[in-house]
Amino acid sequence: MLEVYLVTSVAPIPMAAMLGREWGGMGQNYLKSLFALGFQAFLIMVCVAIYAVLVQNISVSDDISTAIWTCMGYTVLLCFTLFKTGSLAKSVFSAH
Q: How far apart are CA 95 and CA 88, in angstroms?
A: 10
Which pTM does this prediction carry? 0.81
CA 2 centroid distance within chain = 13
User: Domain residues for 39?
Assistant: 2-92
* Separation between Cα atoms, residue 62 and residue 60, nearest integer Å: 6
Residue 28 has pLDDT above 80, yes or no: yes
Structural domains counted in the chain: 1
pLDDT surpasses 90 at 72: yes
**For residue 25, what pLDDT is reported?**
81
Question: Of 6-10, 41-45, 83-87, where does mean pLDDT reach its minimum?
Answer: 6-10
Q: Are the C-beta atoms of 48 and 29 separated by less than 8 Å?
A: no
Q: pLDDT tens-digit profile of 34-56? A: 999 999 999 999 999 999 999 98
User: What's the first-to-final CA gap in the chain, in angstroms?
Assistant: 20
